[in-house]
Amino acid sequence: MKSLNDLTLTIQIFKEGKQYISYNPEFDVSSCGITPEAARKNLKDAVIGFLKSAYKIGTLDEILEQAGFIHKGRSWLAPEMITLDRFSLAL
């Protein structure tokens, strides 16, 4: 297996009612918690579980490539984040 040390991932956190929803767009994985910190921790656990499962069934390399990661030697390089913006629309 190529090294997965130090993967850099995106975490988005939203508030819905009394819950905080955490989302990782690279792998389309979500979780939640009663605080932003709990939602962040739960998302990290969910991503780790997702990646371990992908490794076990033999789809990890494909998933990383589809998410934009590039393998170089025995490591994976994250796609370069250029910007993260919000905008409003009036319809």
- Per-residue pLDDT at 3: 53
- Does 23 map to a domain? yes
- Does 45 map to a domain? yes
For residue 42, give the H/E element and its range: helix 36-57
Q: What is the pLDDT of residues 42-58, one digit of tens each?
A: 999 999 999 999 999 99
Instruction: Point out the least confidently predicted range of 11-15, 26-30, 58-62, 76-80.
Output: 76-80
- Does 84 map to a domain? no
Q: What is the pLDDT of residues 69-85, one digit of tens each?
A: 998 888 888 888 888 88
For 18, phi and psi rounded to 5 degrees? -95, 0
- Does 52 map to a domain? yes
- Does 87 map to a domain? no
For 72, phi and psi rounded to 5 degrees? -130, 115
> How many Å apart are CA 37 and CA 22, to the nearest integer?
10
Q: Is the Cβ–Cβ distance between 39 and 51 less than 8 Å?
A: no
For residue 15, give the H/E element and its range: strand 12-16
Residue 1 has pLDDT above 80, yes or no: no
| Average of per-residue pLDDT across 24-30 | 96
Residue 2 has pLDDT above 70, yes or no: no
- Domain count for the chain, please give it: 1
Structural domain of 32: 12-77
- Does 20 map to a domain? yes
